[in-house]
Amino acid sequence: MNHRLNIRFEQLERATNQLLAQVELLGERASTSPGPGQWSAVQVVHHLLVAETGINQYIDKKLAQTEDLEEAGVGAFFRASLLRLLLRLPFLRFKSPSRLKALTPDEVPTLAVLQAEWETVRRHLERTLNEFPSKLLNRAIFKHPRSGMLTIYQTLDFMVDHVLHHQRQISRIAHAVALLPPPLAVGHNANQPT
């Protein structure tokens, strides 16, 4: 893996580990939605896993047809820069692309299962980056749903910013679910006085 890719990959690893640690701290509340129509912390993890899986698949597909990859131009630089800026603004929220949102159901696997799946997906990304051809570093390799085609560097920058963006969401969720009454214990009758 070249040095610039390695730096970005390490940033992605750190950001992901920090996010997962945040979710683990929530314990049982990690699966609690802060309100109707809002994702729980575990659903956010699922969303990030689905997104990274899709990115891996798209890159794999493009690497199989390298003769079609175009040089990334100035427009790609500006679109990627704008995407980075928007993802870093703390007050800005985005709706998940409908295609991705549909892949995050109300019931998702446990955090432990998601972490194991994510580890597999991340090792796949690491292998791809280790073998990434240097002649393709400035080629458009991934199509972001809003900003268009990105180079591998821009793709990794997006992935880091995407995780950091959702770290802020996890913080909001943690604050909201901490204010909710504790979940009922299994076998506890809500009609009985406590």
List pLDDT tens digits, range 17-57.
Answer: 999 999 999 999 999 999 898 999 999 999 999 999 999 99
DSSP 154-175: HHHHHHHHHHHHHHHHHHHHHH
DSSP 40-83: -HHHHHHHHHHHHHHHHHHHHHHHTTGGGPPBP-HHHHHHHHHH
In a domain, 13, yes or no: yes
188 pLDDT tier (thresholds 50, 70, 90): very low
Work out the average pLDDT over 139-147.
84
Q: Which range marks the domain in which residue 16 is found?
A: 3-30+38-178
Q: Identify the residue with better confidence: 98 or 142.
A: 142
- The confidence score (pLDDT) of residue 97 equals 63
In a domain, 100, yes or no: yes
CB atoms within 10 A of CB 13: 15
Work out the average pLDDT over 99-109.
70
In a domain, 92, yes or no: yes
In a domain, 151, yes or no: yes
- How far is it, in rounded angstroms, from Cα 31 to Cα 107? 9
Question: Encoding tokens for residue 20?
Answer: 């997962």
Task: Report yes or no: 2 and 134 within 8 Å, Cβ to Cβ.
Answer: yes
- How far is it, in rounded angstroms, from Cα 63 to Cα 141? 8
For residue 178, what is the enclosing H or E element?
Answer: helix 152-178
Work out the mean pLDDT of the chain and round it to a whole number.
85
pTM score of the predicted model: 0.82
Q: Based on the structure, what is the number of domains in the chain?
A: 1
Q: What are phi and psi of 167, to 5 degrees?
A: -60, -40
| pLDDT of residue 169 exceeding 80 | yes
The residue assigned the tokens 């809003």 is 146
For residue 39, what is the enclosing H or E element?
Answer: none
183 pLDDT tier (thresholds 50, 70, 90): low
- The confidence score (pLDDT) of residue 37 equals 86
pLDDT digits (tens, 9 = 90+) for 58-75: 999 999 987 776 777 666
| pLDDT of residue 86 exceeding 90 | no
Domain of residue 147, CATH code: 1.20.120.450
